Structure 1
Amino acid sequence: MKFDLHTHHFRCGHADGNIRDYIEAGIAAGLSVIGISDHTPYFGSQEEQPFPLIAMAKKEFSNYVEEVLHLKQEYEGTIDVLLGIESDFFPEHAKVYANVLAQYPFDYVIGSVHSVGNVSIFNKNRWKRLSEEEHIAVKEAYYALIRDSARSGMFQVLGHIDAMKGNYPPFSDIPAATAIDETLQVIAECDVAIEINTSGKTKLSGGWYPNDAILERALHYGVNVTFGSDAHIPGRVAEDLDDVASRLREIGFTEWVYYKNKAKVVVPL
């Protein structure tokens, strides 16, 4: 059984295609389940759309939900369309986000840390002129936020948990093994899944998020895993899905999961 929980569309301002395009791509790829999970609006501001190239406008949020639910019905029996969303995690705005998200019938919510110290994790300039100690501090702050996101109870899935390497490949070599192990332990205790996200190959780092070393530790701690292409164009739906499944089996995983009505569905690998 094949699934992909992480797809975007035009509303976020940095993806191409409409929702139907992604569903049709999922059918063509042989998926049984496709999750639509565009970026939430930025609820930490009173502005309608403070970041038009990053997140959808607030007025589009209900339209997004309505469209996915309509397509879920239309494609019933052909492919299971799930209503998901990708939400940033800002501790200072967590209650606001949680209250808004609770008003809609999401099958699952992906929690992703995209910013540390008010700077994008993909901004490679943030690393300039930092000492080794400062590199470590940034990495540890990143994983502290991921731990807090797991503990928040807001999410079924945590997105791309080493994506800070995306535009700065040396990130993976910054020593922070204790922080990563602690994070995986917390994720396991909170019964949240991590995704294997194949969009890393579109960044400077190449490869998937997270790397094999983290996946091996995730298996050790009993962390659930899922799959997400993080497709921003329909042609990337389910990209590398079979390769990911094969690699997980090599590491030692025997199953992965997806979520429907916020309930875990276990799928043998």
Structure 2
Amino acid sequence: MKFDFHTHHERCGHASDSIRDYVEAAIERGLDLIGISDHSPFFASETDQLFPGIAMAKSEFKHYVAEVLRLKEEYRNKIEVLLGVESDFFPEHADVYRSIYEQYPFDYIIGSVHWCEGKSIFDKTRWIGADETTLIWSKQNYYELIRQSARSGMFQILGHIDAMRAYCPEFSGISTPDVDETLRVIGECDVAIEVNTSAKLKNCGNWYPADELLERALYYGVSLTLGSDAHVPDRVGDDFDTVRQRLKEIGFKEWALFRQKERFMVPL
């Protein structure tokens, strides 16, 4: 079974091409399953599209869902198309997001922390001149948000759980018990995490999470799935076979698929 649960498209404002293009790319690459999971709108904002270059407009969300469902039916004899969304996690607005998601037949929802301390974790300028105390504090706050997202019950998958190192590779070397505590909570809450292959496009290189976190995830019984986080069709299914082999080397035996918010474990 070859799959990719994390893909975007042009509605979010920083990816290219249509949903259909990603489905066609998945077929060309021999995938059995393609999950569509564009960025959630900023639902708590009074503005329809708060950040046009980051996420789709609120008014577009129903059209996004309808398009994925149409393609799911159109391609059902060629590939399995799943309806997902990559949701921001803001604890103070969790009920707003939850109430909206309950209106739609999602196969899965990826919960991702993109904002910490009021700033994007992908802001390349936020770490300039940051001292060790600041980095430690930010790492602790980041993982506290991930723990809250795991406990929220809103998500089947947690996205790129060490993405704060994207443009600050030094984060990997900061020692804090928060990482182990977060993996323990994720395991207890029985939420999967993704191996996200887009990190190789950032300063940190390789994948999210790093190998040492994957080893600890195995220890805490955390389930894994895979997502390319493709923002162009050419990256659909990226590194699938390489990731599968590495997970076998670490000691994993299976990984997770999702349909109608139910998890199914399949052999690596």
- TM-score bracket, normalised by the shorter chain, equals over 0.9
Structure 1 counterpart of 2:152: 152
One-letter code aligned to 2:37: S
- CA-CA distance at 1:44 after TM superposition: 1.8
> C-alpha offsets along residues 116-169 of structure 1, whole Å, 9 cap, x if unaligned?
101111123222333322211110100000000000000000000001111111
1:62 paired residue number: 62
- Look up the match of 1:53: 53
Which residues of structure 2 form unaligned runs of 5+? none
- The AA in structure 2 aligned to 1:81 is V
Q: Does 1:260 align with 2:254?
A: no
The answer for the alignment partner of 1:106 in structure 2 is 106
Q: Partner of 1:173 in structure 2? A: 173
Residues 41-97 of structure 1: per-residue CA shift (max 9 Å, x gap)? 111211110100000011110000000000000111211000000000001111100
TM-score (norm 1): 0.98
CA distance in 2, matches of 1:205, 1:62: 35
Aligned mates of 1:5, 1:107 — CA distance in 2: 10
Give, in whole Å, the separation in 2 of the partners of 1:244 and 1:226.
10
**Distance in 1 of aligned mates of 2:266 and 2:183:** 21
Partner residue of 2:44?
A: 44
Q: Match of 2:161?
A: 161
Q: Residue 54 of structure 1: SS of its match in structure 2?
A: coil
Q: Which runs of no fewer than 5 residues in structure 1 stay unpaired?
A: none
Note the 1:114-193 alignment, pairs <5 A. Answer: 114-176=114-176, 178-193=177-192
SS of aligned partner of 1:245: helix
> Which secondary structure state, in structure 2, belongs to the residue aligned with residue 195 of structure 1?
strand
Q: Aligned with 1:127: secondary structure? A: coil
| 1:179 alignment partner AA | D
Q: CA RMSD in A?
A: 0.8
1:223 CA drift (Å): 0.1
CA distance in 2 between counterparts of 1:138 and 1:125 reads 14
Q: Is the 8 A contact 1:5 1:229 kept in 2?
A: yes
Q: Which residue of 1 aligns with 2:247?
A: 248
What is the total number of aligned residue pairs between the two structures? Answer: 268
- The residue type equivalent to 2:213 in the other structure is I
Distance 2:17 2:130 in 1: 39
Q: CA deviation at 1:214?
A: 0.0
**CA offsets, 1:11-37, max 9 Å, x none?**
000000100100011111111110000
Find the aligned partners of 1:137 and 1:175 in 2 and give their Cα distance: 11
Equivalent residue letter for 1:16: S
**Cα separation, 1, equivalents of 2:35 and 2:21:** 13
1:109/1:156 contact within 8 Å kept: yes
Match of 2:212 in 1: 213
Equivalent residue number for residue 76 of structure 1: 76
Q: Secondary structure at the match of 1:124?
A: coil
Aligned partner of 1:101: which letter? Y
CA contact (8 A) 1:122 1:168 kept: no
Report sequence identity in percent.
Answer: 62
